[in-house]
């Protein structure tokens, strides 16, 4: 990236800087008004020698957006250099990505070859779903890839426009954006078949603009949420917003199901029509107008998409700037003297103050405090709680809440999940606990050194962490299950649902314990709790999938039992699930503890940002 | 108030003994066989340029980084095969590792005390006293993450001192510390050594080492180049001259950097 110095095209205007206010030194005369700063005595001509400062900084070339892309590629390459395991994980990631791309391609291609009346609606919904996925998935599960942290550029003379375009261009480099683009290109098939090359080109353009909308939206929203989560006042509001966003996807699912089931639905067409005039879906629908020959409409929709990208980028930049400025002072320190001679009592959270004071209580207490104070943990805990309430709600009410009774009944029959919906949803919800624990050592980073210096045994360490998260999430999951089953009129399923939910909860805690010791990875040191490194992070975070699948497989026997058992006996799943879940949580924690006992130094190296 | 002190077995001559410690990262050899004896009751300075392997050596000595070869003994106990006994006698301040910095100073001390297995009343008394002496009591509910660099060093030192260890291993205790905090840390360490404790710390600030230390070792390229009492090492010269000689630096002649 050789930047050749070039002389400025025209002599730059003298920068106007207000004169410095010099406090008048007492006892000395006030300097003349026009010359507040006393002139420095000029050095003899030869005194400066070769080190004489130049009057003007040397001008380099202007930074370009493509430099950001190259920087990101170089970082990606460097993280994999000489690390076979990382290359394998990267290849695994590509395979996952290809699979997702094929599925997505099928969806978009399918919607593009649907019949005339259905095509715009399906395209609108597919596009909206894609953008929403880009916004919600980072918030709930993985975080955004912040290999290039915008704060790093704060000191470089990069114009703001270049910075934003460069960050956007760099954000498009990666597996998920490529997958998205491939999927969205699926609509080209239908466009070319029905509308010829011209419509096909519009479809390609639409896919590109759509991808930009996805990426920009995900950046802007995570960045804004990061800001909200930093301040304590709004963080509960943030939790509520995520929950509401999740629940609001629900009607969309219903409409899509109704549409696919019945072939058409007035509501769906209306909503699809509205969506296709918003940046969410407009770029994905443009080709439909092109097929019909309405070129100016197609252009208008693409323009809506571009305008949406511009707005999102502007918003993103604002939140970046406020984050860069206001990191230090957000946590207003209370000056009250809180020590008053009883630090131990002050340290232990109220929930566990009744337990005997000692090492284990201390560990649990620190975990509980950290779930509340560490922004990254707080974000994932909030997402977890939101998800574990949203998912049961979405599953139980989502299927078959059509407008009429027949529709409702039809939907239930066709999907055939009315009985199992609650049960299955709890299996999913319980397994999410594992997701927040899967990199628990990476979240703490090198602070774990203290536990090594004080000889905390591995099993005690893991058990304390499991109990810490349990204290916070267990009551809510149980209460949520009761609430959903009562509200949806499935009280007869309450016992088996609780059993299965708690079983999968326990198994996921055990599985995540093992994963967290075997594959910890460092987290970037930024203010954004949703940020993660691509090179190592996204590849290793796929292990959270593995641990989730393991959880589902081990919970599966109970699900099978639920469908096989006569209705009167399903209550037995409550004790069985509790015992099975608890047993596996115990086994997992024991195993992970033994592993940690042997691997503690390796875990510390793995979570150290420099060396990892 | 004798918690920690009572683990006084007959103290061996070396509070910390390193034998053939070595470590390589990928292709790069960071530490190539370090042998070192830190006499009991000494104030030991480990000098070395950046990248000499100071942090790596001390991390291996306190049991945070697994050495490729070699042993480390704290008052006769092998850190890697007998960690419980070794670490009870050892207090460490690491420069590279973060603390659990989302706790307040008092909470961090209480947590460290609980992990060390100290009784509640002992922790309360010592934590309050340490916060007071180190001038951190005014910080109140401020989280350690919002502390200044000097305050972070001081709370780290307080955590290392809480269980009254016999040996203190400090990685860069004076790095990024203002003169006032630096003087305070120095006073506390001097008093600790006078009461029979042993300190080894790494640094590249010559003045501090020259003023405080009874013994000095110079580490460069992953090996101990010079070791001995301060007088032996200096041999009548300025410590800085000895250091540059041993490490082998270069001096700017004035011909380069002409574009500046």
Structure tokens that stand for B219 in this block? 């580490």
Q: Which of A357, A359, A453 sits opposite B62 (nearest CB)?
A: A453
A chain contacts of residue B104, beta-carbon cutoff 8 Å: 338
User: Which of A184-198, A467-481, B215-229 ranks highest by mean pLDDT?
Assistant: B215-229
pLDDT value for A603:
93
pLDDT value for B214:
95
pLDDT higher than threshold 70 for residue A400: no
pLDDT higher than threshold 80 for residue A218: yes
- Give A39: exposed, middle or buried? Use CB within 10 Å, 0-12, 13-18, 19+: exposed
Structure tokens that stand for A293 in this block? 């020959």
pLDDT higher than threshold 60 for residue A1: no
pLDDT value for B171:
93
Dump pLDDT digits (tens) for B86-104. Answer: 999 999 999 888 899 889 9
| pTM attached to this predicted model | 0.73
Going by pLDDT thresholds of 50, 70 and 90, the confidence category of residue B118 is very high
Q: How far apart are CA A415 and CA A400, in angstroms?
A: 9
**Number of inter-chain CB pairs under 8 A, A vs B:** 146
Instruction: Tell me the mean pLDDT in the region A526-545.
Output: 59
pLDDT value for A21:
66
Dump pLDDT digits (tens) for A267-294. Answer: 777 878 888 888 988 999 899 888 888 8
Q: How far apart are CA A404 and CA A411, in angstroms?
A: 11
Structure tokens that stand for B220 in this block? 């460069």
pLDDT value for A263:
61
pLDDT higher than threshold 90 for residue A363: yes
Mean pLDDT of chain A: 77
pLDDT value for A134:
86
Q: How far apart are CA A268 and CA A406, in angstroms?
A: 18
Q: How far apart are CA A525 and CA A539, in angstroms?
A: 19
pLDDT value for A576:
92
DSSP string, chain B: --TTTT---S--SEEEEEEEEEEEETTEEEEEEEEEEEETT-EEEEE--TTSSHHHHHHHHHTSS--SEEEEEETTEETTTSHHHHHHTEEEE-SSS---TTSBHHHHHHHHHHHTT--HHHHHHHHHHHHHHTT-GGGTT-BGGGS-HHHHHHHHHHHHHTT--SEEEEESTTTT--HHHHHHHHHHHHHHHHTT-EEEEEE--HHHHHHH-SEEEEEETTEEEEEEEHHHHHTTS-HHHHHHHHHT-----SSS-TT-
pLDDT value for A586:
94
Least confident of A223-237, A401-415, B216-230: A401-415
Q: How many residues are listed for chain A in this entry?
A: 612
The reply to whether A356 touches chain B by the CB within 8 Å rule is no
pLDDT higher than threshold 50 for residue A215: yes
pLDDT value for A336:
47
Write out the H or E segment, with its range, that includes residue A145. Answer: strand A144-145
Going by pLDDT thresholds of 50, 70 and 90, the confidence category of residue A415 is very low
Rounded (to 5) percent helix, strand, coil in chain A: 70, 0, 25
Instruction: Tell me the mean pLDDT in the region A157-162.
Output: 79
pLDDT value for A341:
61
Going by pLDDT thresholds of 50, 70 and 90, the confidence category of residue A182 is very high
The reply to whether A83 touches chain B by the CB within 8 Å rule is no
Q: Which of A343, A370, A455 sits opposite B83 (nearest CB)?
A: A455
Contact A359 B66 (CB under 8 A): no
Q: Which of A331, A337, A359 sits opposite B114 (nearest CB)?
A: A359
Strand order of the β-sheet with B28-39 is B28-39, B14-25, B69-74, B77-78
pLDDT higher than threshold 60 for residue A49: no
pLDDT value for A116:
77
Q: How far apart are CA A390 and CA A394, in angstroms?
A: 6
Dump pLDDT digits (tens) for B180-213. Answer: 888 999 999 999 999 999 999 998 888 889 989 9
Least confident of A140-144, A153-157, A463-467, B155-159: A140-144
pLDDT higher than threshold 50 for residue A324: yes
Please compute, for residue A159, the number of CA atoms within 13 A of its CA located in the half-sphere on the CB side: 8
Contact A495, A571 (CB under 8 A): yes
Going by pLDDT thresholds of 50, 70 and 90, the confidence category of residue A412 is very low
Q: Roughly what angle, to the nearest 10 degrees, separates helices A573-607 and A542-564?
A: 170
pLDDT higher than threshold 50 for residue A387: yes
pLDDT value for A544:
75
Query: Higher model confidence: residue A539 or residue B42?
Result: B42
Query: Higher model confidence: residue A431 or residue A39?
Result: A431
Find the angle CA(A132)-CA(A149)-CA(A323) to the nearest 5 degrees: 80
Contact B34, B24 (CB under 8 A): no
Least confident of A98-112, A374-388, A389-403: A389-403
Write out the H or E segment, with its range, that includes residue A185. Answer: none
Contact A282, A305 (CB under 8 A): yes
Instruction: Tell me the mean pLDDT in the region A207-225.
Output: 87
A chain contacts of residue B106, beta-carbon cutoff 8 Å: 338-339, 343, 346-347
- What Rg value do the Cα atoms of chain B yield, rounded? 19
In the stretch 369-408 of chain A, residues with CB closer than 8 A to chain B read: 369-370, 373-374
Contact A153, A321 (CB under 8 A): no
Q: Which of A344, A347, A447 sits opposite B97 (nearest CB)?
A: A447
- Give A143: exposed, middle or buried? Use CB within 10 Å, 0-12, 13-18, 19+: buried
Dump pLDDT digits (tens) for B11-50. Answer: 678 999 999 999 998 788 999 999 999 999 999 999 998 8
pLDDT higher than threshold 60 for residue A402: no
Write out the H or E segment, with its range, that includes residue A200. Answer: helix A187-230
CA-wise closest residue to B206 among B244, B258, B180: B244
Least confident of A358-367, A406-415, B134-143: A406-415
CA-wise closest residue to A202 among A223, A216, A220, A188: A188
pLDDT value for A334:
45
Structure tokens that stand for B103 in this block? 């706790």
Q: How far apart are CA B63 and CA B217, in angstroms?
A: 21
DSSP A494: H
pLDDT higher than threshold 70 for residue A36: no
pLDDT higher than threshold 70 for residue A23: no
Q: How far apart are CA A373 and CA B102, in angstroms?
A: 6
Which whole-number Å values give the CA distances from A151 to A315, A325, B118, in the listed order? 16, 10, 42
Measure in Å the smallest separation between the Cα of A320 and chain B Cα atoms. Answer: 21
A149 CB-near residues (< 8 Å, 6+ apart): A524, A526, A528, A531
Instruction: Tell me the mean pLDDT in the region B162-170.
Output: 94
Q: How far apart are CA A73 and CA A436, in angstroms?
A: 29
Contact A358 B114 (CB under 8 A): yes
Q: Which of B66, B96, B103 sits opposite A446 (nearest CB)?
A: B96
The reply to whether A612 touches chain B by the CB within 8 Å rule is no
A chain contacts of residue B81, beta-carbon cutoff 8 Å: none
Least confident of A246-255, A547-556, B101-110: A246-255
3-state secondary structure of A532: strand
pLDDT higher than threshold 70 for residue B253: no
Write out the H or E segment, with its range, that includes residue A67. Answer: helix A65-80
pLDDT higher than threshold 70 for residue A297: yes
* Per-position b or e across A566-579, b if 16+ CB within 10 A of its CB: eeeebbebbebbee
For A144, phi and psi rounded to 5 degrees?
A: -100, 155
- What percent of chain A is predicted at pLDDT more than 90? 18
Mean pLDDT of chain B: 89
């Amino acid at each position: 990236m050789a930047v050749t110095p070039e002389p400025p095209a025209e002599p730059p205007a003298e920068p106007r800087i207000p004169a410095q206010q010099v406090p008048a030194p007492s006892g000395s005369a006030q300097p003349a008004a026009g010359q507040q700063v006393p002139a420095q005595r000029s050095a003899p001509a030869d005194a400066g020698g070769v080190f004489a400062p130049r009057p003007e900084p040397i001008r380099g070339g202007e930074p370009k957006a493509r430099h950001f892309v190259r920087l990101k590629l170089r970082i990606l390459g460097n993280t994999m250099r000489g690390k076979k395991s990382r290359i394998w994980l990267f290849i695994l990631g590509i395979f996952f990505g290809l699979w997702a791309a094929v599925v997505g391609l099928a969806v978009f291609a399918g919607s593009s070859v649907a019949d005339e009346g259905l095509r715009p609606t399906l395209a609108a919904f597919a596009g909206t779903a894609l953008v929403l996925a880009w916004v919600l998935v980072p918030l709930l599960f993985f975080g955004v890839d912040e290999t290039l942290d915008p704060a790093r550029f704060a000191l470089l003379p990069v114009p703001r426009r270049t910075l934003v375009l460069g960050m956007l261009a760099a954000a498009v480099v990666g597996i998920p954006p490529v997958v998205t683009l491939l999927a969205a290109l699926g609509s080209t098939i239908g466009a070319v078949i029905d509308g010829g090359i011209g419509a096909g080109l519009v479809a390609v353009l639409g896919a590109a603009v759509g991808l930009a909308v996805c990426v920009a939206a995900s950046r802007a929203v995570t960045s804004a949420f990061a800001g909200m989560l930093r301040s304590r006042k709004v963080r509960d509001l943030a939790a509520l917003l995520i929950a509401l966003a999740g629940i609001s996807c629900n009607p969309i699912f219903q409409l899509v199901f109704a549409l696919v089931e019945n072939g058409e639905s007035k509501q769906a067409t209306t909503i699809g029509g509205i969506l296709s005039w918003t940046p969410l879906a407009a770029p994905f629908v443009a080709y439909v107008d092109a097929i019909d020959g309405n070129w100016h409409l197609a252009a208008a929709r693409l323009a809506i998409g571009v305008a949406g990208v511009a707005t999102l980028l502007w918003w993103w930049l604002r939140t970046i700037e406020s984050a860069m400025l206001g990191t230090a002072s957000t946590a207003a320190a209370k000056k009250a003297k809180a020590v008053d001679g009883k630090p131990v009592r002050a340290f232990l959270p109220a929930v566990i103050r009744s337990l005997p004071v000692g090492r284990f209580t201390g560990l649990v207490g620190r975990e509980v405090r950290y779930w509340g104070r560490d922004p990254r943990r707080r974000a994932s805990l909030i997402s977890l709680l939101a998800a574990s309430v949203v998912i049961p709600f979405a599953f139980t009410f989502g299927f078959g809440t059509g407008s009429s009774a027949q529709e409702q009944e039809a939907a239930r029959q066709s999907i055939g999940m009315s009985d199992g919906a609650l049960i299955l949803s709890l299996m999913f919800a319980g397994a999410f606990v594992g997701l927040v624990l899967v990199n628990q050592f990476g979240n703490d980073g090198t602070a774990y050194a203290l536990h090594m210096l004080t000889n905390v045994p591995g099993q005690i360490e893991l058990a304390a962490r499991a109990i810490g998260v349990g204290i916070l999430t267990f009551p809510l999951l149980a209460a949520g299950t009761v609430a959903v089953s009562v509200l949806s009129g499935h009280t007869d399923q309450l016992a088996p649902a609780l059993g299965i939910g708690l079983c999968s909860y326990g198994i996921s805690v055990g599985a995540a314990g093992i994963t967290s010791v075997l594959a910890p990875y460092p987290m970037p040191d930024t203010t954004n709790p949703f940020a993660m490194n691509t090179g190592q992070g996204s590849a290793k975070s796929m292990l959270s999938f593995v641990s989730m699948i393991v959880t589902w497989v081990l919970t599966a026997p109970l699900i099978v039992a639920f469908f096989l058992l006569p209705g009167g006996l399903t209550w037995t799943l409550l004790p069985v699930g509790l015992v099975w879940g608890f047993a596996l949580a115990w086994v997992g924690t024991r195993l992970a503890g033994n592993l940690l006992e042997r691997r503690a130094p390796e875990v510390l190296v793995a979570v150290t940002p420099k060396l990892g | 108030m004798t918690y920690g002190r009572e683990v006084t077995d007959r103290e061996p001559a070396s509070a910390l003994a390193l034998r053939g410690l070595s470590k390589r990262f990928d292709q790069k050899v960071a530490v190539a066989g370090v042998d070192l004896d830190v006499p009991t009751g000494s104030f030991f300075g480990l000098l070395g340029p950046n990248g000499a392997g100071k942090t790596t050596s001390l991390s291996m000595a306190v049991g945070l980084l697994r050495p490729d070869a070699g042993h480390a003994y704290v008052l006769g106990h092998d850190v890697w095969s007998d960690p419980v006994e070794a670490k009870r006698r050892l207090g460490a301040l690491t420069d590279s590792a973060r603390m659990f910095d989302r706790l307040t100073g008092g909470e961090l001390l209480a947590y460290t005390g609980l992990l060390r297995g100290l009784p509640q009343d002992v922790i309360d008394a010592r934590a309050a006293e340490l916060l007071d002496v180190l001038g951190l009591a005014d910080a109140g509910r401020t989280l350690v993450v919002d502390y200044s660099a000097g305050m972070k060093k001081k709370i780290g030192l307080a955590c290392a001192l809480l269980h009254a260890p016999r040996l203190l291993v400090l990685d860069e205790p004076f790095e990024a510390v203002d003169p006032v905090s630096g003087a305070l840390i120095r006073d506390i360490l001097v008093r600790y050594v006078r009461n029979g404790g042993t300190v080894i710390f790494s640094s590249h600030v010559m003045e501090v080492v020259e003023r405080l230390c009874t013994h000095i070792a110079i580490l460069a390229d992953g090996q101990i180049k010079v070791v001995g009492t301060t007088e032996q090492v200096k041999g009548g010269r300025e410590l800085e001259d000895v250091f540059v000689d041993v490490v082998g630096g270069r001096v700017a002649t004035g011909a380069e950097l002409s574009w500046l």
